[in-house]
Amino acid sequence: MMCGAPSAMQLATTETQNITDQVRSQLEEKEKKFPVFKAMSFRVVAGTNYFIKVHVGDDEFVHLQVLQSLPHENKPLTLSDYQTNKAKHDELSYL
C-alpha cells in the first residue's frame, strides 16, 4: 500500500461504530436527526483519516470523513467532511 493511500474496504467493527457514534451529533447539527446510524464499512488513510459508510435508515446512506488527531494532541474526533444521499452500492472514496 502506498503511503497516504486508503486501506482496502473493510467491514465496520465495534471500534468503527464507536468512532461513528462520536461524530453523529456533529453531522446531525448540520443535517437532521437520523433514525439509524450504523457503520457498515470503512477505509483508513495514514491511520488518522477514516472514511465510513453509515446506514441512516431505509435505503439511505451517508459517507463520513473523520479525522482522528495524533495521541499527543488529545483532541476529540472531528467530522471533517461528509456526503449525504448515498446508496448502499456507492463506492466509499475520498470526499
End-to-end CA distance of the chain: 20
Identify the CA nearest to 52 among candidates 93, 8, 89, 85: 93
pLDDT single digits (tens) 56-72: 999 999 999 999 988 88
Domain membership of residue 76 (yes or no) is yes
Domain membership of residue 1 (yes or no) is no
Can you give the CATH number for the domain in which 47 is found?
3.10.450
Q: What is the mean pLDDT of each run of 10 residues along the chain (95 residues)?
A: 68 96 97 97 88 96 94 90 95 77
Give me the domain span that covers residue 47: 10-86
Domain membership of residue 14 (yes or no) is yes
Residues 1-21: b if buried by 16+ CB within 10 A, e if exposed: eeeeebeeeeebeeebbebbe
What pLDDT was estimated at residue 5? 66
Domain membership of residue 35 (yes or no) is yes
What pLDDT was estimated at residue 1? 41
* Domains contained in the chain, number: 1
